[in-house]
Structure 1
Amino acid sequence: MKGLNRYFLVIGLVAWLSMFMAEAAPDLFVSEFSLNPETPVQGSPVTVRLGVYNQGTGSSGPFSVQ
């Protein structure tokens, strides 16, 4: 049993270290998209609402949405 406990501890430590030593990176995704009015009419104004969320571990810095 002692050997198994030590082996498990080594695996647990490697997994734990890899979580904290991984390079921080942004992970952006569109969290919201809507149009007002929902069905735009050609030639009429429309408001576009777009939400972008960073679920990554690093800062995204400035970016543009196209």
Structure 2
Amino acid sequence: MPTFEFAKSSHSSGNGECVEVARNIPTTIAVRDSKAPDGPILRLAPATWAAFVALTRVTR
């Protein structure tokens, strides 16, 4: 089984309160809490992740 390669958002502040996302496996987007790297991982289908990101974009 491939290992997720998590990365923090470029919008993350330095206070350690952020999520990390792994997009290196084509069929799964993985999301975890950066403060608990050994904690639970939310696994999403790429289409679900794309819909979530589209809904969270800030409109200017």
Higher RCO (Cα < 8 Å, 6 or more apart): 1
> Greater strand percent: which structure?
2
> Greater helix percent: which structure?
1
TM-score of the pair, normalised by structure 2: 0.28
